[in-house]
Amino acid sequence: NAKPTDFDFLKVIGKGSFGKVLLAKRKCDGTFYAVKVLHKKTILKKKEQTHIMAERNVLLKNVKHPFLVGLHYSFQTSEKLYFVLDYVNGGELFFHLQRERCFREPRARFYAAEVASAIGYLHSLNIIYRDLKPENILLDCQGHIVLTDFGLCKEGMEQEETTSTFCGTPEYLAPEVLKKQPYDRTVDWWCLGAVLYEMLFGLPPFYSRDVSQMYDNILHKPLQIQGSKTVAACDILQGLLHKDQKRRLGAKSDFLEIKNHVFFSPVNWDDLYHKRITPPFNPNVAGPADLRHFDPEFTQEAVSTSITHTPDLAASSSSASDAFLGFSYAPTEEGI
């Protein structure tokens, strides 16, 4: 199995609540990966181990989709967990959106279609994603979407099934989640609507600096669409951001309804899936070492030597080992 010393850790390229994401180069063949390094202690303290194991399980199922980040290996030491993932360096959608304020409709449609394709695939595996936001949508070096971060995914969600865990990111929470009501996979279509709205207008649909005001807006304020947007764009936003989950676009036949909406009529879904459509924006990266689309706040940070430190797994507390039993993964020879 893989271990930390198999890699040279070059740069910090991201941060989360449990650890960091680093650009790493595998010593044996020079392949670049993004390695997500998580601290077991922090995960156990916050009782998040089930989410981490769910993330690993979902990553293992992603291999077959063009717009989902792929897992190559996962391994652990007594103190840390390591996810070795596809390295994607076109930047977060959030980064580009901040820089350009908003996108024109054809570009927003292209990204929304690739994201919808990824979400539709997860739903076909009975997984709901629950954390769709511009920070979790990356662009690859050609400008295609790569959805990342599966820590809030919920597995085993059949078409009619509901769950009630309160989770997500404030700006993108669906009304039923805020009301702590049982919710289903249509929460992901609400989030798609919120992200599409933000791409077109520059801010999430019910945004307020005051979080309690924003929650009130999500629950009670009618959707406002200003400016000259096409009828199709207005219609899909109204459909995806319907406050009643049973009447929301996607409630009846899931991804099929999204696909067939007039807003997406210019999209050939087969060409989209096979990446035969040229992305509307090219990140123009010069190669793996080109970090121009990453926040300098991350890339200028020193890489901690503890990341390659490999304390003996046997010496770790049994509770930490037991909590992450079965975490490690290496592909079969055919898989490689």
Active site (catalytic) residues: 131
Kindly give the pairing relationship between strand 32-39 and strand 71-76.
unpaired
For 277-333, where are the alpha helices, taking DSSP H only? 296-299, 318-323
Quickly list H helices, the chain: 40-45, 49-61, 93-100, 105-124, 175-178, 186-201, 211-220, 231-240, 255-259, 269-273, 296-299, 318-323
Residue 46, marked binder: no
Q: What is the dihedral of CA 250, 170, 243, 115, to 10 degrees?
A: -20
Task: Report the C-alpha gap between 5 and 27 in whole angstroms.
Answer: 9
Q: Taking the CB of residue 317, how many other CB atoms lie within 10 A of it?
A: 12
DSSP class of 335: T
Distance separating alpha carbons of residues 329 and 56, to the nearest angstrom? 9
Measured CA to CA, the distance from residue 196 to residue 237 in angstroms comes to: 8
| 3-state DSSP assignment of residue 1 | coil
- Rounded to the nearest 10 degrees, the angle between the axes of helix 93-100 and helix 186-201 is 30
Q: Tabulate helix, strand, coil % of the chain (nearest 5).
A: 40, 15, 45
Binding-site residue ranges for ATP? 45
- What residues form the annotated binding site? 45
